[in-house]
Amino acid sequence: MRPIPPELLTGPFTRTDARRLGVTSRMLQGKRFTRLHQDVWRATIHVMTEADWVAAARLALPDDAHLTGITRLQRLGLDYGPARPIRFVVDRDHHLALNDVFLHRTKRLPPTDDVGVTVEAAFVAYCARARLIDAINVGDWLLHHHHTTIDAIRTFALSCLWRDGADEAVVLLEHLDGRSRSIKESETRSILRFAGLPAPEVNAAVDVNEQVEVIGDLVYRRWRTVVEYEGSHHQQDRDRYNADLDRYGLMRAAEVRYVQVTKERLARPRTLVGEVYRTLVAGGYDGPPPTFGVRWELLFWGVSVSVGPKRDRTHRSAVS
């Protein structure tokens, strides 16, 4: 049995690639190879990565198909959102059915780069079908990691308000904050704000009356209250864990109240909001209590619900 050429052991390849290296169509039918898409294969022993699945889709699609939406944003290192379907876009009427791949069609292709459509275009495409809370999380992440800016998103969206997701992206901008250092921080902030609680400062210094700087995730300075998201890495990294203990000790000594948020608590958002509200009240907050009406529900609906039906829009966002 002929060995598999090394070039075919590192990722997906086309039938043409295989033929060029001496692997016939008959050989591809054997157990040593696995078909991924029409005329796209891999060596069965090769373990596919997400990058490999994107590469396989590229090989199966026409050359003028470009990565878009959440898939394009995930190529930046974003670990959030659905991995399937893998999303591409073309600017013509082209129909092709591939497993776990969605080919969008547009009347005019947005700007592209060597990965796919630009970050701004991909974010607009994502906003067309994302929940509001998810779009805020992703937008914050893009800003924090300097992949784009508020102005860049606004400029692109306003240049093509006919495009799906453009109105949604413009309306969303007021809710973004690139100071959030994690997706979960962004999610916590959104939950508190859409429940009607005051806007916290994001990753701000906390006065603990010591010659050290303590940074809080979400800081309610007026009521000496801090909301902290505790990811699993806070406990797994012992240095980080002990630093957190020191930080909380300084807060207690300075009579700064704090609420610790975990993914389990975040999964019960109303309960979390209630805990933060009670902590604020203990610190002197006398504003309105949280509410869970239409504004709250919008957070968990598509961004497009906030904007309204496309036929009814007056592009009021264009004047902002």
- pLDDT tens digits for 22-72? 999 999 999 999 999 999 999 999 999 999 999 999 999 999 999 999 999
- Reduced to 3 states (helix: H, G, I; strand: E, B; else coil), residue 90 is strand
The tokens of 198 are what?
A: 């005051």
Q: Name the residue among 31, 27, 24, 100 with its Cα closest to residue 60.
A: 100
Which uninterrupted H or E stretch holds 71? helix 69-74
Amino acid residing at 190: S
Distance between alpha carbon 155 and the CA centroid of its chain, in Å? 20
Kindly report the average pLDDT of the chain as a whole number: 92
pLDDT at 192 over 90: yes
Region 116-142: mean pLDDT is 98
Residue 208 binned pLDDT confidence (cut-offs 50, 70, 90):
confident
- CA–CA gap between residue 153 and residue 304 (Å, rounded): 17
Residue-wise DSSP of 174-237 = GG--TT--SHHHHHHHHHHHHTTPPPPEEEEEE--SSSS-EEEEEEEGGGTEEEEE--THHHHS
Tell me what percent of the residues of the chain surpass a pLDDT of 70.
94
Burial class (CB in 10 A: 0-12, 13-18, 19+), 167: buried
| CA angle centred on 83, ends 89 and 66, rounded to 5° | 20
Beta bridge partners of 88: 67, 103
Q: Please tell me the distance from the alpha carbon of residue 148 to that of residue 141, in angstroms, as a whole number.
A: 10
Query: Does residue 282 carry a pLDDT above 90?
Result: yes
- In the chain, beta strands by DSSP E: 13-14, 33-37, 40-43, 66-67, 86-90, 101-105, 201-206, 214-220, 225-229, 257-261
Query: Reduced to 3 states, what is the DSSP secondary structure of residue 40?
Result: strand
85 cis-preceded (ω within 30 degrees of 0): yes
8 A C-beta contact, residue 117 and residue 108: no
Please tell me the predicted confidence (pLDDT) of residue 316.
47
